[in-house]
Amino acid sequence: MKPKKTYPAELYLNGEWLSPDKAFVSVFDRAFMFGDGIYEVTPFYCGKPFRLQDHCDRLKYCLQQIKIPFDCAILEHLMMQALSRSGLANSDAAVYIQISRGKAPRTHYYPEHAEPTVLLYAFPVVLENFHEKRWKVLVSEDFRWQRCDIKSTALLANTMSNEEAIAGGFDENLLVHDGHFTEGSHSTAFFVMNNTVYTHPEGPHILSGITRKVVLEICRDLGISYEERPVNIEELDRVEEVFLTGTTTQITIVESLHSKEKQIFTAQKGEITKRLQEEFLRRTRE
**Residue type, position 230, single letter:** P
Provide the whole-model pTM: 0.96
Minimal CA–CA distance to 31: which of 161, 185, 155, 209?
Answer: 155
Distance CA 269, CA 277 (A): 14
* 167, 185 Cβ separation under 8 angstroms: no
CA 212 to chain centre: 10
**Residue type, position 284, single letter:** T
Q: What is the pLDDT of residue 2?
A: 80
SS3 at position 12: strand
Q: What is the pLDDT of residue 195?
A: 96
Indicate where the chain has its CATH 3.30.470.10 domain(s): 11-124
**Residue type, position 30, single letter:** R
Alpha helices in the chain (DSSP H): 30-34, 52-65, 75-85, 156-167, 210-222, 271-284
Which residues, given as ranges, of the chain have pLDDT below 70? none
Hey, how many other C-beta atoms are within 10 angstroms of the C-beta on 51?
A: 18
Q: What is the pLDDT of residue 3?
A: 79
Distances in Å between the alpha carbon of 270 and those of 124, 136, 254, 264? 29, 15, 10, 18
Q: Which residues are catalytic?
A: 151
Domain 130-285 in CATH 3.20.10.10? The answer is yes
Indicate where the chain has its CATH 3.20.10.10 domain(s): 130-285
Q: Which CATH architecture has domain 11-124?
A: 2-Layer Sandwich (3.30)
